Structure 1
């Protein structure tokens, strides 16, 4: 069928399958890393019953590493995705737009893949700065989109497997130059070898892409990668900025913590022998010190020195067997994590504290005064602040 005159003709040497395959490999690595670390984050926040009692508490910085990689790989995927779309966008103008039912389904899967990936990266970036200008819950949609993208990507890879296979190796012969007439004429209009010109252009593109990915990584990763913190010009968080040398996601005021609630504070611990403690009584119990990171889902993290009472000691005093699951209740009246659950793997770990002090000082109101949870290898949103109740779960 004759191509309508109104459609553009693309003669660039980089709008070809070889370039799309090379960039797609790198994008695939970033997406896979982002997906796997996202799975870890989701299952640590909402562990299936199958994992009960077996959640990892070592290494203590495990979540700090995986969530840092999640954010870094997500940000790195942005320039990779833009370049990938640039290499293939001329296919939007192919004629006829749909050649068969199978071709229509293929194009539909690509549309879902592109739209889903763009939306996933967009809302993920806004989450790092805690800006939610949409009416839906971020975490639920982010999770669902991850599976939509994965499914559409698998379909795309299955359909494009022959093309990807032909152009996977460096020395594979490319398809005709866009605008050419067949696969034998590899001469550019000026008489030069089109293959050599395309290889040179491709190398230049890849060096530029590497520089872009490296730049966005260097200026953002410092919020979780300590050696890069002085270069973190575009990071939404400075890990050194905040009361007591630690950032704060949500202040006491934002959480609705009243002075009266803190003034009359008591800690209730449930169990066969439930009891209550005042802050003075809690401070009189044996205190322990740990060095643990606080690692938030937005990607920032920092290690700090914590002092307080072991959760397992509080439970033992209530007659609770070692390794009980807990419901942790906060004083906060605003926010999505006022009530959380703690797996038995954490409660029996000697590093899990009801912390009273941070970096040698009494907890500030914004860091959870009078008491907060700190546990190894646990998402920051579950390190509950302003704790007032520890309730044993069956």
Structure 2
């Protein structure tokens, strides 16, 4: 037994982690890629906060959220998705540059070293979770049991905190390898392949290719290059994409047969579709911007929400509104909009899209369209407005 134990110890002592040479795995390369990845994550984090708080505003902010510029959410959410996709490429390159450190021997040298490795593990796990769940979200595939929005939002804070902690811990090394004139690393063996500049150029080309073939879903001048994005801005009923169809929402002809708009306020009333069409109509060219990243502008026609509230006896600027959809389920069946949106003259109860009656998939007989709002809050199949 003792001889076997000795042999086992001898074999274990002979085990050594793999060795990695060449500047493509050195701190300079990791820093060069890391600062680009950090910039992508920073833009993603800030625009993600904007998106989350526009969708789920805290009570104190609900009436203060701005309705202008009309293209604000389209810009921020387009940046969020574009930088998130770019971050996938950069994260892969960053992990490739630093993965030899995973084989450092011994794996733990001290309590401080153990905490540092634990923080790195948390950073890598949070970053991978964010980019991969974000990617599946824009494809509208949810193979997990949890709700995407709150979990993605919570892990974003974990990732941001982990990045700040990592930068703080590694600040001396980052500083020493930030400049191109930093002290050199080992000479690059010919067998190592392309040098650092080639690697960075290749990563930049990959980011550019991913961006050019997906950003057309939001930046419509580039829609001809929209090859990899799950949505095309021109594809869908009435040449406009939809995420949730009337069939998926359980909206049928029978349900709409006796449709009337109910407005609950100081002077409650109800109108059928013919009566709505007799009211003074307004037109607005507004983008509809989806949280999954696609957006497109269209011409909308209908009755301003503030006119409907005024008819119910609401003083201008004095109330917010709750909007209720006919659909039986869905996380956004009931939506609230603050005073800034409710009183904006461009916020419409839309009846037409590009001069045509709304199709069922776009919310017939009436839907909300408002400036600077996420698409999930542009409620379709509206049947009730409640003054708050």
1:183 corresponds in structure 2 to none
Structure 1 portions without partners, runs of 5+: 178-186, 191-196
Q: String of CA shifts for 1:209-237, please: whole Å, max 9, x gaps.
A: 11100001011111001121101110100
Does residue 1:34 correspond to 2:44, yes or no? yes
Does residue 1:13 correspond to 2:23, yes or no? yes
Alignment of 1:53-68 (within 5 A): 53-68=63-78
Q: String of CA shifts for 1:222-261, please: whole Å, max 9, x gaps.
A: 1001121101110100100111111111100100112222
- Are the counterparts in 2 of residues 10 and 90 from structure 1 also a CA contact under 8 Å? yes
2:172 to 162, 165, 178: 162
1:302 corresponds in structure 2 to 296
d(CA) in 1 for partners of 2:36, 2:281: 49
Q: String of CA shifts for 1:54-92, please: whole Å, max 9, x gaps.
A: 211111011001000000000000110000000100001
Q: String of CA shifts for 1:145-194, please: whole Å, max 9, x gaps.
A: 1001011111111110000010111101035x3xxxxxxxxx6678xxxx
| TM-score normalised according to structure 1 size | 0.93
d(CA) in 1 for partners of 2:315, 2:365: 26
Say which SS state the counterpart of residue 25 (structure 2) adopts.
coil
Say which SS state the counterpart of residue 66 (structure 2) adopts.
coil
RMSD after superposition: 1.6
d(CA) in 2 for partners of 1:189, 1:107: 29
1:315 to 302, 309, 314: 309
Compute the displacement of 1:267 (Å). Answer: 0.5
Does residue 1:340 correspond to 2:350, yes or no? no
- Are the counterparts in 2 of residues 17 and 174 from structure 1 also a CA contact under 8 Å? no
2:358 to 360, 363, 368: 363
Alignment of 1:209-248 (within 5 A): 209-248=203-242
1:180 corresponds in structure 2 to none
Q: String of CA shifts for 1:21-63, please: whole Å, max 9, x gaps.
A: 0000000000000000000000100112232322111110110
- Are the counterparts in 1 of residues 22 and 188 from structure 2 also a CA contact under 8 Å? no
Does residue 1:77 correspond to 2:87, yes or no? yes
Alignment of 1:138-177 (within 5 A): 138-175=148-185, 177=186
Alignment of 1:319-334 (within 5 A): 319-323=313-317, 324-334=319-329
| TM-score normalised according to structure 2 size | 0.94
1:25 to 14, 20, 35: 35
Q: String of CA shifts for 1:312-347, please: whole Å, max 9, x gaps.
A: 000000001222111100000132111011111101
> How many residues are treated as equivalent by the alignment?
375
Compute the displacement of 1:5 (Å). Answer: 3.8
Q: String of CA shifts for 1:249-283, please: whole Å, max 9, x gaps.
A: 11001001122221110111111101011111111
Structure 2 portions without partners, runs of 5+: 1-11
Q: String of CA shifts for 1:76-111, please: whole Å, max 9, x gaps.
A: 001100000001000011111111111111111110
Q: String of CA shifts for 1:1-37, please: whole Å, max 9, x gaps.
A: x985432111132111100000000000000000000
Moved more, 256-265 or 163-172: 256-265
